[in-house]
Structure 1
Amino acid sequence: MGGHDRARAEAGVPPLTWDSRLAASARTYAEEMARTGRFAHADQPHGPMREGENLWTGTRGAYRYDEMIGHWIAERRDFVNGVTPAFSRTGKWQDVSHYTQIVWRNTTRVGCAMTSNKRDDFLVCRYSPSGNVVGERTL
């Protein structure tokens, strides 16, 4: 939570609350990715039940948790507070979408989980309400 809360404080938004339901959802999906080796966002319904999602994978044991989260937060360098999806200096929303989900002003809850297979670590964080809503600003 520390990395999330620091990034949010720097952006001027309140800290997130840990949500055990989101953490359980994140764990289930992290385990699926580790089992299948498929690194991709989960299929989710659109609408108010949709959970925001940040994913990370890397060589097993090579990265600390704060480094994993740090990769997402480092996207801040390309962030501009435009209307979604026009919120990246590069013109590619994907270049900042992990960071924007972390600091999304309307997101209030988070749950994360990490699991591994023989080769890789898989980190999943789930957020509610979901961020990166088209037509809205991050902050």
Structure 2
Amino acid sequence: MGSFSLWCILGLILIVGSSRIAHAQDSLADFVNTHNLARKAIVWNLTDLVWDNKIAAFAQNYANQRKDCKVTPSDSGGRYGENIAVSAGNMSGVEAVNLWVAENPHYNSYKNKCEGGECSHYTQVVWSRSLRVGCAKVKCDNGGTFISCNYYPAGNIPGETPFP
């Protein structure tokens, strides 16, 4: 086999491998692990979130209705907390969770409020009394991405703090 053929095969392996890597960050383990890393970074003994298929089905049903990529909260009747992320192109589940976690600097834990920017997505991720999570991702009609994660019990309860 000539060196040119070998390089072509190696290039093809890299292309196929990189496309698998892009999709690998959308597994339920990726969603859960990224949430739990953020939770442990704040309070080391915070209970891990666990994946819940019923909540994931709720998230998927709602995401399927949002192929227009509009950020509109679902109506769970207060049953679930919710985080939504939308992008103009592809976005992985890991990127969505990291986007929410990046609001951390805006949360003032001494005053229990957001200062200088949005932080309610972050506080839902680290809400200590939320124990279960389910997430979904759809490709929007415009080529963008809509990602929703729902949490049980819901977080961001007025007057309560996210963690002890």
- TM over 0.5: same fold? yes
The equivalent position to 1:87 in structure 2, one of 98, 113, 123, is 113
Do the aligned partners of 1:54 and 1:98 also contact (CA within 8 Å) in 2?
Answer: yes
SS in 1 for 2:84: strand
Could you tell me which residue of structure 2 aligns to residue 30 of structure 1?
A: 63
Deviations 1:58-78 (A, max 9, x none): 1232x3322221110000011
The equivalent position to 1:115 in structure 2, one of 138, 151, 155, is 138
The equivalent position to 2:51 in structure 1, one of 18, 35, 44, is 18
- Number of residue-to-residue matches in the alignment: 129
Rounded to whole Å, the distance in 2 between the matches of 1:64 and 1:44 is 24
- How far off its partner does 1:130 sit? 0.2
Rounded to whole Å, the distance in 2 between the matches of 1:137 and 1:82 is 10
Unaligned runs of 5+ in 1: none
Do the aligned partners of 1:3 and 1:69 also contact (CA within 8 Å) in 2?
Answer: yes
Could you tell me which residue of structure 1 aligns to residue 18 of structure 2?
A: none
Rounded to whole Å, the distance in 1 between the matches of 2:70 and 2:92 is 22
Unaligned runs of 5+ in 2: 1-31
The equivalent position to 1:77 in structure 2, one of 101, 105, 117, is 105
The equivalent position to 2:156 in structure 1, one of 127, 132, 137, is 132
RMSD of equivalent CA atoms: 1.6
Deviations 1:77-116 (A, max 9, x none): 1112256xx42123x6xx1000100100110000001011
SS in 2 for 1:68: helix
- How does the TM-score come out when normalised to structure 2? 0.73
Deviations 1:105-134 (A, max 9, x none): 110000001011232111010000000001
SS in 2 for 1:123: strand
SS in 2 for 1:112: strand
Stretches of 4+ moved more than 4 A in 1? none
- How does the TM-score come out when normalised to structure 1? 0.85
Rounded to whole Å, the distance in 1 between the matches of 2:53 and 2:73 is 20
Alignment pair present for 1:57 and 2:78: no
Amino acid paired to 1:66: V
Taking CA–CA contacts closer than 8 Å with sequence separation of 6 or more, which of the two structures ends up with the larger relative contact order? 1
Whose Rg is larger?
2
Do the aligned partners of 1:82 and 1:137 also contact (CA within 8 Å) in 2?
Answer: no
Do the aligned partners of 1:82 and 1:138 also contact (CA within 8 Å) in 2?
Answer: no
Rounded to whole Å, the distance in 2 between the matches of 1:109 and 1:138 is 15
